[in-house]
Amino acid sequence: MLELCTRAVEAFFERDADKARLVVAHDDEVDRVDVAIERASIPLLARGSQDEHQIRSVLTIVKVNNELERIADIGLLIAEQVLEPFPTAEPPPATFRVMANSVVGMLRDATRALASGDAELARQVLLFDDTVDRFRNEILLHAQERVALSALSVRFAFRLMSVTKSLERIADHSTNICEQVIYLQTGKIVRHRPDGWSEPEAPQANGR
């Protein structure tokens, strides 16, 4: 998933249609794996385990699988933007590249946290979400100002805003994965809180 999104972002920056086509070509495989994981999870739940950590583990697999599939869909959308003719040769603003690199980093750390069960790394990813939101706002404001000055075509501005919002969604899904990591390791639900998430609790005895 990380490779797919990285390639989609690189394709957009480099306007590389070949890289974009590689992303599109992997879509069916991602969908196939998504369905396979979901089907494999059903028998695990059907075992009727009473162990809380085991139950959380299966629920985490199902939820994270859904997040990853959606991230792949967003990467596909970014790649498809590259396959359409670019209306201008003007490069995106520098902030856009910083935001893209940051989002790819969030996805990388989210998958690392999941693989290692690292609640602290997951917490660090959650901390970075507000920064991505600030990058998004700066990029959208920049595009609006450039269009007002006739320095940027409306078509390219719309494309830039579309990809920026796609990156923001990848960041959101990455934080969702990290919330599941914290839930798995601590049993603590950190989403849907009006005051945001709080410090993860230490895992319970025996890893439960």
What's the pLDDT score for residue 88?
Answer: 61
* 3 state SS for 153-168: CHHHHHHHHHHHHHHH
What's the pLDDT score for residue 40?
Answer: 82
pLDDT, tens digit (0-9, with 9 covering 90-100), for 103-119: 999 999 999 999 999 99
Report the CATH number of the 2-192 domain: 1.20.58.220
3-state DSSP helix/strand/coil % of the chain, to nearest 5 = 75, 0, 25
Which single residue is written with the structure tokens 């989210």?
A: 110
Among 78, 77, 56, residue whose Cα is nearest residue 11: 78
Among 66, 80, 75, residue whose Cα is nearest residue 2: 75
pTM for the structure as a whole: 0.84
58-67, 144-153, 191-200: segment of lowest average pLDDT: 191-200
pLDDT, tens digit (0-9, with 9 covering 90-100), for 135-156: 999 999 998 998 999 888 888 8
